[in-house]
Structure formats: structure tokens, C-alpha cells
């Protein structure tokens, strides 16, 4: 069962997305801010990170950079989630080291396709 770390500060989004992913057959762990996310990710054991970009403490951009710097998380797939459907965000996310990105609100089918693509790539 693939393990996903969901880094998301908004409680409702976190609850909703984790429940939906769980129902689709993923094991979901949760981090509530950037620092928490980086710590949990570096502790290891995740197949993929879903990273909200606007986070307290350390934002998603910085967290992604830290994960890419650390050897143990260098290759873990990261999908960025941004609230703004701006054309620049995609490029920015890829530049920051993310493997893909998606916009909120989540369209579950679309996100699932992206998650599966990353997992397949790393399999």
C-alpha cells in the first residue's frame, strides 16, 4: 500500500483529502506545517509527498528545497498544491524541485492520475 505524506495546514482540507485518498487505497500520514512536513519526510518511509505551498513556519517552497537538499529525501516524488491557478505557479513549482503540481480545489480524478504517474515513474 503506497504511503503518502500530506503536508497541509488547513484542517478541513487535510481531513477531506486524507479521507478521500484513504478510501482510494492509500496510506496517508499528515503534517500540519512546513517544519513538521520536513521532519516527517526525513524520518522516511513515504512513497510520495503532497505539499501545500502556502504553509506557516516554513512554506512549501522552502520545505521542498530542504527536502531536495537532504540525501534521504532527494528523490522522493513531491506534488505541489497551490491555491492560485496561475500559469507561473507550475513553472515555479517545477523549478523549486517539485515533480508535478496541481491546483486547489482538488479534482480528485485529476490528482489521482498525477499521483499514480509519479508512483509508476519511481516504481
Partner 1 sequence: MTRARHTAERLIPGRGSLARRQAALLRLSTGIAAAQDEAAVYRAVVSGLHDEALGYNFLGVFLLDEENGDRVLQASVGWPGVPDRWRVPHGSGVSERAIDDGTLHYTPDVTRDAQYLPSLNSGSEIDIPLQVEGRTVGVLVVESSEPHAFGDDDFEILTAAAMQAGIAVGRARLLDAERRRADEHKALLDTMRDLVGELELSRALHAVLERAVSLLGVTGGEVAIYDEDRRELVVVASEQIGKDSTGTRIRLGEGAMGAVAETLEPLIIPSYHEWLGQSAQYADVMVHSVMAAPLTIGRRLVGVIATVHADPQRVFGREDLRLLESFTPQAAIAIENARLFTAERQRAEEQKALLDTMRDLAGELELSRVLQAVLERAVTLLGVTGGEVAIFDEERGELEVVASEHIGKDSTGTRLKPGEGAMGAVAQSLEPLIIPSYHEWLGQSVQYADVMVHSVMAAPLMIGRRLVGAIATVHSDPARIFGPEDLRLLNLFAPQAAIAIENARLYSAAQRQREYFETLVSNSPVAIVTLDRDHNIVSCNPAFEKLFGYPRSEAIGRPLDSLITTEATRSEAESYTRQALDHLIHGIGRRCRKDGTLVDVEVLGVPVIVDGERVGLMGLYHDITELLTARREAEAANSAKSQFLASMSHELRTPLNAIIGYSEMVQEEVVEMGEEGLAADLQKIHTAGRHLLSLINNILDLSKIEAGKMDLFAEWFDVVEMLDQVTTTVRPLVDRNGNALVVERNGDLGRMRSDLTKIRQMLLNLLSNACKFTEQGTITLRVEREREAGRAGGETVVFAVSDTGIGMTPGQMDRLFEAFAQAEASTTSKYGGTGLGLAITKQFSHMLGGDVQVESAPGSGSTFTVRLPANLDVPPHEAVDSD
Chain contacts with partner 1 (rule: CB under 8 A): 10, 12-13, 16-17, 19-20, 23, 83-88, 91-92, 104-106, 108
Q: Which is nearer to partner 1, 17 or 78 (CB)?
A: 17
Min dist CB 12 to partner 1, Å, is: 4
Which is nearer to partner 1, 40 or 104 (by Cβ)? 104
**DSSP letter for each residue of the chain:** --EEEEE---HHHHHHHHHHHHHTT-EEEEESSHHHHHHHHHH---SEEEEESS-SSS-HHHHHHHHHHSGGGTTS-EEEEESS--HHHHHHHHHHT-SEEEESSP-HHHHHHHHHHHHHHH-
Residue with Cβ nearer partner 1 (27 or 89): 89
Amino acid at each position: 500500500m503506497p504511503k503518502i505524506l500530506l503536508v497541509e495546514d488547513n484542517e478541513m482540507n487535510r481531513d477531506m483529502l486524507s479521507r478521500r485518498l484513504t478510501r482510494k487505497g492509500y496510506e496517508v500520514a499528515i503534517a500540519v506545517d512546513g517544519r513538521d512536513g520536513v521532519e516527517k519526510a526525513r524520518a522516511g518511509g513515504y512513497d510520495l509527498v503532497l505539499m501545500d505551498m502556502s504553509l506557516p513556519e516554513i512554506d512549501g517552497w522552502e520545505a521542498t528545497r530542504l527536502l531536495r537538499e537532504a540525501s534521504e529525501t532527494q528523490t522522493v516524488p513531491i506534488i505541489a498544491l497551490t491555491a492560485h491557478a496561475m500559469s507561473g505557479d507550475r513553472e515555479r513549482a517545477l523549478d523549486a524541485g517539485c515533480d508535478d503540481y496541481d491546483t486547489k480545489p482538488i479534482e480528485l480524478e485529476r490528482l489521482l492520475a498525477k499521483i499514480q504517474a509519479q508512483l509508476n515513474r519511481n516504481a
